[in-house]
Chain A
Amino acid sequence: MRPSPVLPGVVAVVAVAGTGMGAVVLTSFGLMPLVGEPSASLDGWRAAAPELGVAARESLLVALPATALALLAGLLLAGVVLTPGRGARVVRTLVVVVLAVPHLAGAVSVGLLLGDGGLGARVLAPDGGWPALVGGPLPVATWLELAWKESAFVALVVVASVGPGHRGRSEVAASLGAGPLRRWTRVLVPSALPAAGASGLVVLVYGIGTYEVAWLLGRSYPEPLPVLAFRLFGSIDLGDRPAAAAAAATGSALALGLALCVLVAVPAAARALGPALAGQEVRR
């Protein structure tokens, strides 16, 4: 019997992701120490416990508003791209450009825009009084960077999913007297919901797992789970490794748990997830 052609891919995912996640869990329980003998213990979880709840809340504070903003901006961008005209072509090209920019480069630019001595402060508050948008009490800069980058992803997925029939539906709505806003709310948004749900899920999970954006643009305390895990992981005290692993395991459980909730609550998003990743074609 010939082996299934999906086997190499499935084995690669199970081997790499399974080994990585298994090692994180084992490390958190003291069963895979960097040095010394394995010894089952809850010390890592006890050490991380005071910060896990705060960090999980901070992760949600980063990811949920950023996802909502990315979905809103992405659907609005999709509306522009799907409206015939020269502006749509320019916007479509820029959406592709933003999608390709690495998050770290985006975070640097947003920091230079919203930071204390950034372009925003230079233009709007040269005499002082610029709010703490980078590293402040609310992760405004982190929201903006994630929403900026991910709105491009949402827009391309939505355009690909509704593209073929959208022009006809939109023309029918226009002939019945619907203006641009009503065509967006009554035609585009309803037909884009499965694709928006699928792309929103990807954005949400990314928002929970992102390290570099929150590290560069977020406040130093409380930290989201990836930043907490990374800091403990890099500690000179090797005894912090199990606590780092506990934070990483908590971050993974939070991402997987939220993903499962979305996939169960919105089955259409689950069905759209595969095509959403593949069908990023931009049609007019």
Chain B
Amino acid sequence: MTRRLSAGLAPGLALVWLLLPAVPVLLWVGAERWSFPGVLPQEWGVRGWREALDDGLLAGLGRSLALALAVAALATPLGAMAGRALGRRLARRPRLVVSVLLLPLLLPPFAVAMGLDVVVLRLPVPAVVAVVAVLAVLALPYATAAATAGYARCPEALEEQARALGATPRQARRLVVRPAVRPSLVVAFWLAFLVGWSDYVVTLLLGGGRLVTAPVLLGSTAGGTGNEAAVAALALATAVPPVLVLLAVAARPRGLSGGTG
């Protein structure tokens, strides 16, 4: 009995830790009226959603989707090229290359964006292009790491066998290597997508307030009014798409690592 109780205690505490911080948003999105000190809303409804839609939620989600797809489309091929060289040990000075590619993880994004804001103002570069470029670079460590893992797991012998059977180098890459590493590249794409979708500070600084994505809309609403229902609806709408993406990726046969082996 005691053993069964203790065996259930750890998962129970883990569930509390993981779920509790999300509970207020889940309650507020269904609250029409929730005065203090009520533990539950006095009246349920969709006031928050109505106001979030009036604030431009759908347009914000659309911009977030476009931004995240652009970031992923740029970061994935860059990460795949670097990942192939690193995974296959083709790169010269691999430690230096890895250090450079991991650098975006160690620099605060707000500082990079703040510096680039001054540069972008002097160059004929649209702000949205600068936002995509910065976010793609911030996503590059994740995309590279996922692609590197995929190429490292794909045995070189596969390519050699294809060559021995008469395939040209291009055919061997297209017909043998690429299908084998595709799951890792899919993971790289969606990790980069998440970086693009979730960003707030780079979009706000470089977008100059004109690129109103879902997180930017959420930030301006949360920092301004005291309208908890609308803020909760915006927060939930901002959180659900990346959650669905990551759950779909994690449900794949090799989970979040992708790969072949």
> Are B91 and A4 closer than 8 Å at their CB atoms?
yes
Q: Interface with A: B49-57, B142-150, B163-171, which one?
A: B142-150
Within 8 A of A (CB), among B112-154: 112-116, 118-119, 121, 133-134, 136-137, 140-142, 144-146, 148-149
> Are B21 and A102 closer than 8 Å at their CB atoms?
no
List residues of chain B with CB under 8 Å of any chain A CB: 6-8, 10-15, 17-25, 27-28, 36-39, 78-79, 81-82, 84-86, 90-92, 97-98, 100-116, 118-119, 121, 133-134, 136-137, 140-142, 144-146, 148-149, 194, 197-198, 200-201, 205, 215, 218-219, 222-223, 228, 231-232, 234-236, 238-239, 242-243, 245-247, 250, 254-257, 259
Q: A9-B79, A102-B242 are in contact. Are A256 and B107 (CB under 8 A)?
A: yes
Q: Which residue of A lies closest to B98 (CB)?
A: A274
Q: A13-B104, A108-B232, A122-B36 are in contact. Are A34 and B14 (CB under 8 A)?
A: no
> Are B246 and A279 closer than 8 Å at their CB atoms?
no
| A268 interface hit (Cβ, 8 Å) | no
Given A19-B115, A83-B10, A180-B10, 15 more A-B residue pairs with CB atoms under 8 Å apart are A4-B91, A5-B90, A13-B100, A21-B111, A23-B116, A24-B111, A77-B17, A80-B11, A102-B200, A119-B27, A123-B39, A160-B257, A180-B7, A209-B109, A216-B223
| A12 interface hit (Cβ, 8 Å) | yes
16 contacts between A and B (CB under 8 A): A4-B91, A6-B97, A6-B101, A20-B112, A24-B115, A94-B18, A100-B242, A100-B246, A102-B200, A103-B198, A104-B238, A109-B23, A122-B39, A209-B107, A233-B205, A279-B149
Q: Which residues of chain A come closer than 8 Å to B228, judged between CB atoms?
A: 112
> Are B92 and A91 closer than 8 Å at their CB atoms?
no
List residues of chain A with CB under 8 Å of any chain B CB: 4-6, 8-10, 12-14, 16-17, 19-25, 27, 32, 34, 73, 76-77, 79-80, 83, 85, 87-88, 90-91, 93-113, 117-119, 121-123, 126-127, 144-145, 148, 151-152, 156, 160, 180, 202, 205, 208-209, 211-212, 215-216, 226, 229-230, 233, 241, 244-245, 248-249, 251-252, 255-256, 259, 273-283
- Which residue from A119, A274, A276, A278 sits with its C-beta under 8 Å from B23? A119
Report the Cα distance A94→B246, complex, angstroms.
11
Task: Kindly list the 9 A-B residue pairs having the minimum CB-CB distance in the complex, ordered from nearest.
Answer: A209-B108, A87-B11, A20-B112, A23-B115, A281-B257, A112-B24, A278-B145, A126-B37, A24-B115
Q: Which residue of B lies closest to A149 (CB)?
A: B21
Report the Cα distance A107→B118, complex, angstroms.
29
> Are A229 and B110 closer than 8 Å at their CB atoms?
yes
Q: A13-B101, A97-B243, A279-B257 are in contact. Are A249 and B250 (CB under 8 A)?
A: no
- Which residue from B8, B235, B250 sits with its C-beta under 8 Å from A108? B235
Q: Which residues of chain A come closer than 8 Å to B12, judged between CB atoms?
A: 87
Report the Cα distance A279→B134, complex, angstroms.
24
Give the total number of A-B pairs whose CB atoms are below 8 A apart.
307
> Are B149 and A73 closer than 8 Å at their CB atoms?
no
Minimum distance in angstroms from A14 CB to a CB of chain B: 7
- Which residue from B19, B106, B255 sits with its C-beta under 8 Å from A259? B106
Q: A180-B6, A274-B145 are in contact. Are A110 and B243 (CB under 8 A)?
A: no
Report the Cα distance A205→B38, complex, angstroms.
39
Q: Which residue of B lies closest to A117 (CB)?
A: B36
> Are A10 and B100 closer than 8 Å at their CB atoms?
yes
Report the Cα distance A117→B200, complex, angstroms.
26
Report the Cα distance A180→B92, complex, angstroms.
46
> Are B247 and A215 closer than 8 Å at their CB atoms?
no
Q: Which residue of B lies closest to A101 (CB)?
A: B239
Minimum distance in angstroms from B188 CB to a CB of chain A: 9
Q: Which residue of B lies closest to A282 (CB)?
A: B255
Q: Which residues of chain B come closer than 8 Å to A90, judged between CB atoms?
A: 11, 15
Q: Which residues of chain B come closer than 8 Å to A275, judged between CB atoms?
A: 145, 149
Report the Cα distance A27→B100, complex, angstroms.
24
> Are B108 and A248 closer than 8 Å at their CB atoms?
yes
